[in-house]
């Protein structure tokens, strides 16, 4: 399961990187992320595409004390991250997590948005960082939580 979450995370990051427009500078500085070589990004079962490794399991109500957005239709996670789908817009996901995480002591410290994808970095008083990555697909979004 860790490989499937890691594969989803890396796939999401690759899509976000491909969708970003380097000609438009962002007003918010985002730390540089170093990714492993693409050759190491193979699914556990090479006959399945990366998109098939995400489970259609029933979503949890929370992950490591972080609430899962109401209305989630599928979800899967481990100690490294939790991924789920929900019928929402990236802005609705941001509004939900800003409000709910604010109640838990997390503050939004960085945001990157290109319209179809969104990356939010939250920080708490213990200097822990939570990343909420959102990839829009028609009327649903794929959300990845990682700490």
Taking the domains of the chain in order of start, what are their residue ranges?
2-146
- Confidence grade of residue 143 (pLDDT, cut at 50, 70, 90): very high
Cα(77)–Cα(6) distance, integer angstroms: 10
pLDDT (tens digit per residue) in 39-82: 333 334 333 333 333 445 788 999 999 999 999 999 999 999 99
Length of the chain: 147
Backbone angles phi, psi at 104, to 5 degrees: -95, 5
pLDDT per residue as tens digits for the range 71-122: 999 999 999 999 999 999 999 999 999 999 999 999 999 999 887 789 999 9
What's the pLDDT tens digit per position in 8-26? 444 444 444 444 444 444 4
- List the one residue out of 67, 119, 80, 74 whose CA is nearest residue 1: 80
- What b/e sequence results for 13-23 when a residue is b if at least 16 CB atoms lie within 10 Å of its CB, and e otherwise? beebeeebeee
pLDDT for residue 38: 38
């Amino acid at each position: 399961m860790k490989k499937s979450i890691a594969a989803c995370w890396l796939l999401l990051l690759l899509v976000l990187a491909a969708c970003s427009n380097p000609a438009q500078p962002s007003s918010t500085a985002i730390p540089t992320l170093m990714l492993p070589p693409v050759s190491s990004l193979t699914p556990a079962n090479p006959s399945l595409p990366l998109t098939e490794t995400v489970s259609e399991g029933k979503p949890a109500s929370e992950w490591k004390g972080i609430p899962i957005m109401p209305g989630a239709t599928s979800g899967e996670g481990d100690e490294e991250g939790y991924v789920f789908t929900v019928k929402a817009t990236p802005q609705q996901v941001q509004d939900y997590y800003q409000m709910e995480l604010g109640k838990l002591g997390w503050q939004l410290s960085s945001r990157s948005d290109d319209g179809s994808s969104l990356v939010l970095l939250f920080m708490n008083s213990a200097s822990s960082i939570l990343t909420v990555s959102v990839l829009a697909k028609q009327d649903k979004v794929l959300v990845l939580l990682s700490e």
